[in-house]
Amino acid sequence: MAFEHIIGLLSFVYALALTHLLLSVATLLRAGRRVRFSWITAGWMLNACVLIIENWIVFYGLRSLTIFSVGTIFFLFALGCSNYMYAALVAADAPPEGEIDLWRFHTEQGRLYVPAFAVCCLFALLTGTVVAGHFTSIGDWVSRNYTLLPMTVAAVVGCFTLRFAWLQAIVLAVIFASWGYFIILLQGVMR
């Protein structure tokens, strides 16, 4: 079946993305006292984890498709790659020596990973259009996009407010509120 073949490829991409995140957390934990913790950086890393898991779950809805066009396959792969890039960019490194300042990491590297998340949001908005009618109703697609719009706007605002912790906290609060709404009210259960 085409779905198993395609989800196999996407699963590798998502497994590698999660590996980056988990390895980053493990190396930061191992570095212990050398790490100056930042809730903002941790929030962006957690967001990457939620994004990957939630997109992988959403792909399950494609199981009813029997035919995938080459364009759809490349689009889904590009979506997976954008998620991977976000996860790889937000995963902080832990050099063997010296202090690891996660706030400084955010202010320096956030210019790469926050826009990467905005790209992921734009891909998610387009996904409903690319596969519309295949795994959701139009009403469901509109509801999901209503959830994605505040997340996308927050991500774009986040791109321009990297050095302001309180604005980054608001951006992350909007993103996690959107995730909560999406997961609790729209995701439902897997069948």
Distance CA 134, CA 95 (A): 46
How much is the pLDDT for 13? 93
How much is the pLDDT for 126? 83
Distance CA 50, CA 54 (A): 6
How much is the pLDDT for 135? 46
Distance CA 151, CA 165 (A): 18
pTM, 2 dp: 0.90
How much is the pLDDT for 61? 73
Helix or strand or coil: residue 40?
A: helix
Helix or strand or coil: residue 101?
A: strand
**Contact (Cβ atoms closer than 8 angstroms) between residue 121 and residue 52:** no
Distance CA 55, CA 29 (A): 27
Residues 6+ apart with CB under 8 A from 56: 10, 11, 14
**Residue 163 CB neighbour total at 10 angstroms:** 11
Instruction: Report which DSSP code applies to 36.
Output: E
Distance CA 14, CA 81 (A): 9
How much is the pLDDT for 139? 56
Give, for all 191 residues of the chain, the pLDDT tens digit: 677 878 888 899 999 999 999 999 999 999 999 999 999 999 999 999 999 998 888 787 777 777 778 888 888 899 999 999 999 999 999 888 999 999 999 999 999 999 999 999 998 888 766 665 554 555 565 666 778 889 999 999 999 999 999 999 999 999 999 999 888 876 665 45
**Contact (Cβ atoms closer than 8 angstroms) between residue 120 and residue 51:** yes
Q: N- to C-terminal Cα distance for the chain? A: 18
